[in-house]
Amino acid sequence: MTRKVVLAIVDGLTPTMLEASLGTASAPWLSRLVEHGSYRRGSSVFPSLTPVCLSSIATGSFPDVHEIPHLVWYHRGEKRLVEYGSSFGAMRAAGARRAIRDTIVNMNADHLGRSAVTFFEALADAGLRTAAVNFTAYRGRTLHRPTVPFLEPFVDRDRVAPEVPRVHVHDRVADRLPGPGGAHGAEGGAVLDQPPLAAVVPDEVRDLVHVGVRPRRERGEADRGQ
């Protein structure tokens, strides 16, 4: 029987804050997890902002692959600023309706790179069921429409979780582990083999999904051939 996995993310919790709270009454359950599991520090992608980091966690790739570059960025195709909620003032300036749509709908429907594969997609392709709660990079294989009444005026019900073209389940991030090719050498890893997922995904799930990575040159030639 396949074991279940829960990936919980505490947004904005720095290692210094966590370590100062361990063993105190302010963080009993986190202390319990550390006591009965393992704990180590990791390195963030840059910039270390919520939509960028969550997209990297979901896809195992850097922003050059998943294409979510910042909390606020300029969309050349639409000639406008994309605002994911950097502040209430910024959202008002960009337009609250537009900012909510960008964060809840467009980030997954349009902005998240098509060459990146989320673990929701990879696990669905392997016949496993996933769910996301308050996770901005939620793109999967199944269309889900919003049912929260106050959100309906802000979103296009048919575009919350788009049907994206199925691809061979490659992480498609180029050479991100140190190897013979240098700091980003040709020896890469796969979505489920990268921290933090490597620490929590059971071996039988990882073996079932069979996600891999191809070098950038090989991917480019194959993509041009398509």
pLDDT digits (tens, 9 = 90+) for 20-32: 999 999 999 999 9
Flag whether 14 is in a domain: no
Task: Indicate whether 82 belongs to any domain.
Answer: yes
Is 136 part of any domain? Answer: yes
Is residue 134 predicted with pLDDT exceeding 60? yes
Query: Is residue 58 packed enough to be buried (19+ CB in 10 Å), middle (13-18) or exposed (0-12)?
Result: buried
Look at the chain and report how many structural domains it folds into.
1
Average pLDDT, the chain: 75
Whether residue 2 is contained in a domain is answered as no
Average pLDDT over residues 217-224: 43
Q: What percent of the chain shows pLDDT beyond 70?
A: 64
pLDDT at 3: 82
Tell me what pLDDT residue 156 has.
Answer: 59
For 124, the domain range is 45-225
Say if residues 71 and 49 touch (Cβ distance below 8 Å).
yes
45-76, pLDDT tens digit by residue?
A: 999 999 999 999 999 999 999 999 999 999 99
Contact in structure between 59 and 116 (CB atoms under 8 Å): yes
**27 found inside a domain:** no
pLDDT at 187: 31
Following CA atoms 201, 204, 205, 206 in sequence, which dihedral angle do they give, to the nearest 10 degrees? Answer: 70
In a domain? residue 93? yes
Q: Which residues contact 74 (CB under 8 A, 6 or more apart)?
A: 80, 81, 82
Is 24 within a domain? no
**SS3 label, residue 189:** coil
Mean pLDDT of 109-115: 92
Least confident of 2-6, 77-81, 85-89, 211-215: 211-215
Average pLDDT on 151-170 reads 51
Whole-model pTM over 0.85: no
